[in-house]
Structure formats: C-alpha cells, structure tokens
C-alpha cells in the first residue's frame, strides 16, 4: 500500500513540474449579454519543452473546444481542432480571427469585470497528460494598444 501512495505522489509531483513548464499570459474572455450562448477565450501559451493543448473545460460552459478560424478562398471558416501544437519555447497566440478557445452552451452571462475558471488539458511528447488551471478576466475587448488581440492578466499553475 505504501508503494501505491508513493507512486501516486511521484506522479502528482511530475504533473506539477510539467504544468509549470507551460506559461499562460495575457488571457481574456469576451463578455456576453443575457441569452448569449457562446463566446471566445484568448491568450498566449508558451510550453518550455513543447506540448499539445488537447482539451479545455470550464464550469461556465457545457461545451469548451479549441478552435481555428481561417480564410478558405474568400470565406472565413471556423472549426474545432482535436489538438493544438505548442512548439518548444515558442509563444502560440490564441486571438480573435485565429486560434482561440470557444465556450459554448454558456450556463450564465459573463459580464465584464468577472472571471472565468478554465482548465487546459496538456500532453507532453511522452503522452503524459496534465491540467493547468487558469482564472481568466472577462472583458468586452482586448485592451487598447495590444496588437495581438490579447489582454492583461495570467493564470495560476496547478497540476
């Protein structure tokens, strides 16, 4: 029994170390009006050793997905992605009009000034999955002067 507890403790410690190698900056969620059922979340993610964003969840949404918007010919299309590569040491921008997180089937309005908890599911090169909890501010738009469609703020790291 002691061996099982020790093994579980080591796995949790490894997860905590892995989660700390992923940094989330400039996160924000677009505010909503009553009755609106979906919105986007945006941020900059940097994985020191490389990783994949393989999922997202939030208690405020029935459905949360990683999405991509891109032009196909002269039509802008949006689609869910099964995962998003986070190349080692490179900042990946999740912003309006590109990669972003979609929060759908919202359970409540998200007013400006509130915060939204998000859980990012990450996978390293060995296939080990960890979770990163972030608390994201809600805003009507990215702050002025922020060219990449980002907002001030960042999340706390937890396994």
Q: Is residue 10 part of a domain?
A: yes
Q: How far apart are the C-alpha atoms of 36 and 29, rounded to whole Å?
A: 14
Query: CB–CB of 102/68 below 8 Å?
Result: no
Give residue-wise pLDDT tens across range 67-97.
Answer: 999 888 999 899 999 999 999 999 999 999 9
Q: Is residue 154 part of a domain?
A: no
The CATH number covering residue 53 comes to 2.60.40.1890
Q: What percent of the chain has pLDDT over 70?
A: 77
The helix/strand/coil state of 68 is: strand
pTM > 0.85: no
Q: Is residue 146 part of a domain?
A: no
Q: How far apart are the C-alpha atoms of 128 and 17, rounded to whole Å?
A: 12
Q: Which domain holds residue 27?
A: 2-139
Query: Where residue 143 falls among pLDDT bands split at 50, 70, 90?
Result: low
Q: Is residue 12 part of a domain?
A: yes
């Amino acid at each position: 029994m002691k061996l099982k507890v020790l093994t579980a403790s080591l796995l949790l410690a490894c997860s905590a170390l892995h989660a700390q190698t992923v940094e989330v900056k400039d996160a924000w969620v677009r505010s909503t009006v009553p009755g609106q059922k979906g919105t986007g979340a945006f941020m900059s993610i940097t994985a020191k050793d490389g990783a994949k964003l393989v999922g997202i969840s939030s208690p405020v949404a029935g459905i949360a997905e990683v999405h991509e918007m891109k032009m196909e010919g002269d039509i802008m299309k949006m689609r869910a992605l099964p995962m998003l590569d986070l190349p080692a040491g490179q900042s990946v921008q999740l912003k309006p009009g590109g990669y972003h997180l979609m929060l759908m089937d919202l359970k409540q309005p998200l007013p400006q000034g509130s915060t939204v908890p998000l859980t990012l599911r990450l996978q390293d090169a060995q296939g080990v999955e960890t979770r990163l909890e972030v608390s994201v501010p809600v805003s009507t738009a990215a702050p002025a002067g922020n060219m990449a469609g980002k907002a001030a703020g960042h999340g706390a790291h937890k396994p």
